[in-house]
Chains A and B, each alone.
Chain A
Amino acid sequence: SQTIHQWPATLVQPVGSPLSLECTVEGTSNPNLYWYRQAAGRGLQLLFYSVGIGQISSEVPQNLSASRPQDRQFILSSKKLLLSDSGFYLCAWRASGRNYEQYFGPGTRLTVT
C-alpha cells in the first residue's frame, strides 16, 4: 500500500529565515506530487505540482519554490519567510494516469513569527 510522509509536523520560524519542508511517498512509482497551503479558516490553495523528476509547475507567484530531486520526493522551500507564509502545508500524491483522486499527507503547521 502507498504511504505519504511529511516532516516536520510543526515548525515555528522567524520572519526572514529559510524554509525546507519535505514530502516522500512510498509504494508507488512516478506519482504526480502536489503542495497545498491551507490558511486559517480558508480552503486548500494549490501551490505547486509535479508530474515527474525536475518538472515543477507553479500556481501562485510568491516567495516559495518547489523541487523534485527524486521520483518520490517533493520539497517546498523559501529563502526568506514572510508572516503571510504561516499556514498548514499539505503534500499530496496522485497515481499517474486517468485517476483524479489525490491522497494527502499529515501536513506541516508553519508559524512565522
Chain B
Amino acid sequence: DQQVKQNSPSLSVQEGRISILNCDYTNSMFDYFLWYKKYPAEGPTFLISISSIKDKNEDGRFTVFLNKSAKHLSLHIVPSQPGDSAVYFCAASGIQGAQKLVFGQGTRLTINP
C-alpha cells in the first residue's frame, strides 16, 4: 500500500525553464508535506515543506503547491539550473505517527543545457 506516489520516474527540462514535479497521496490524515533533493551516493537534503493549512509555500526558486481536495502536491523550480539535476522525493507525515515520514519513490530530474 503505497501512500505517497510519484508517478513520473524521470523528467527532463531545458535549463531556464520551469520544472514541475508531482506527488499524490492517499492518506487523508497526512497534514505536513516535504520535498527532498538527493544526489547520487549522498543523503537527501531537505528543500521545502508545507503544512496542510496552506496551499502554497515559496522559498527562492522553489515553490510547493498543495491541493488537499485532490490529495496532490507539486514542486515548481523556476528557473531550472543544471545543479538542480537530482532525484527528488516527496514525503508526508501526520498527527498519527508524527515521528515518521512516508516517502514517494522519487523522480529523477535532468536539466539540459
Contacts and interface: CB of A to CB of B under 8 A. Distances in A.
B25 interface: no
A88 B38 CA distance: 12
A60 B100 CA distance: 13
Contacts of A59: 100
Interface string A91-113: 01010001011111111010000
Contacts of A6: 43
A101 B49 contact: yes
Contact of B89 (A32, A44, A94): A44
A90 B99 contact: no
B105 A42 contact: yes
Interface in B70-113: 89, 93, 98-101, 103-106
A103 B91 CA distance: 13
A90 B105 contact: no
Contact of B44 (A46, A51, A90, A109): A90
B99 A106 contact: no
Contacts of B106: 43
A102 B43 contact: no
A100 B101 CA distance: 8
A49 interface: yes
Contact of B43 (A42, A43, A90): A90
A51 B99 contact: yes
Contacts of B36: 104
Interface in B24-64: 32, 34, 36, 41-46, 49
Contacts of B89: 43-44
Given A43-B89, A43-B106, A104-B45, 16 more contacts: A32-B99, A43-B103, A46-B100, A49-B100, A51-B99, A59-B100, A88-B41, A90-B43, A92-B43, A100-B32, A101-B46, A101-B49, A103-B46, A106-B42, A106-B43, A109-B41
7 contacts: A90-B44, A98-B98, A100-B98, A104-B43, A104-B45, A106-B42, A106-B43
